[in-house]
Amino acid sequence: MPDRGPARRRSAPVLLLAGGVLVLLVLASLAIGARSIPAGTVLDALTRYDPDDTDQLVVVTSRLPRTVLGLLVGAALGLAGAVMQGVTRNPLADPGILGVNGGAALAIVVGIGVFGVGSVSGYVWFAFAGAAGASVLVYSVAALGREGATPVKLALAGAAVTAFFGAFTTALLLADQQTFDQFRFWQVGSLNGRDLGVTVRVLPFLLVGGVLALALGRGLNSLAMGDDVARGLGARVGLIRVLSAAAVVLLCGAATAAAGPVGFVGLTIPHAARALVGSDYRRILPTSMLLAPILLLTADVVGRVVARPGEVQVAIVTAVLGAPVFVAIVRRHRLSGL
């Protein structure tokens, strides 16, 4: 059953604190880069924009679009990770580990190389198709055998499918230099170089996926007690799984199409949310939606600072930050006891 007491009372302060930290990070993301811009100039750019001011021009045309995209992509990945962990009852569920990112990447390569797709609006549809196909394939493989889709089998099936998709993607790229040149810009996983048009194109999908995910809290609480108990409580298990899959595909497909594959955000954030607000998914989901952009924007800002005047791409920083957390999660659950 969902927890009560201290964890529930902490949820409001946690959300308020996370919101405050996120506001500060947004300002930091607008101010920090290859060169620092004073906070006053940032506020002027947002309130009374002067295109003749070079610093304000940088804020509005470069840093503002990547910050907005970071907020949306982070929220999407945090929600998707929480939904995946809830619906599979697998603490290692993540769009990268369960093959969703790999499927989206393969589909986008096919779109570029075969169909000549060259825009984010085109990437989105191929990313959706690849993400959905990968999800179905991983779950089908993991469901083979008497025990069904156990957490360990899902993780192993995801690793196998990811490796297969990765090999096939590499083969396609090596066969076509032009496709490789276009794909590598997306593959690195970055918020840089994306204008507000990218955000506008993926925003409808992220909004629908986000609303759907937030509405699944009660259903995921039922699934946490097991399918039989959930059915006994009147939950429509099949419908909850279908809606969860739709939410994950919308969120991961749009986020991956816009920013490329960004790992570990969807894996680590739900664990942090669970530690802060307890095991009730009605609180885990909104908390994950706020914490994930904090991680992503922090990684983006750190990537700009550590390699000035260049930058380290956000996916690389999140991998560096997330890998130790992943190891800690595996050690905590000892894998065999998942």
The domain limits of the chain are: 6-333
pLDDT of residue 289: 96
pLDDT of residue 335: 46
**Nearby residues of 97 by Cβ (< 8 Å), 6 or more positions away:** 155, 158, 159, 162, 267
**Nearby residues of 214 by Cβ (< 8 Å), 6 or more positions away:** 79, 285, 286, 289
pLDDT of residue 113: 86
Residue spans of beta strands (DSSP E) within the chain: none
Fold adopted by 6-333: ABC transporter involved in vitamin B12 uptake, BtuC (1.10.3470)
How far, in Å, CA of 269 to CA of 283, rounded? 13
How far, in Å, CA of 335 to CA of 318, rounded? 23
In the predicted model, residues of the chain with pLDDT beneath 70 are 1-9, 149-151, 185-186, 329-330, 332-338
The 8-class DSSP code of residue 145 comes to S
How far, in Å, CA of 159 to CA of 98, rounded? 7
pLDDT of residue 60: 92
Q: Is 114 helix (H, G, I), strand (E, B) or coil?
A: coil
pLDDT of residue 72: 96
Q: Is 1 helix (H, G, I), strand (E, B) or coil?
A: coil
Q: What are phi and psi of 40, to 5 degrees?
A: -60, -40
Q: Tokens 């570990």 map to which residue?
A: 264
Distance of CA 13 to the CA centre of its chain: 24
Q: pLDDT, tens digit, for every residue of 98-136?
A: 788 889 889 988 998 888 887 777 778 898 889 889 988
Residues in the chain, total:
338
Among 186, 174, 214, 184, CA closest to 119: 186
Residue 125, H or E segment? helix 120-142
The reported pTM is: 0.87
Q: 264 in the Ramachandran plot: left (φ > 0), alpha (ψ -120 to 50) or beta?
A: left
How far, in Å, CA of 16 to CA of 13, rounded? 5
Take residue 282 and report the two structure tokens written for it.
């009605």
How far, in Å, CA of 159 to CA of 97, rounded? 6
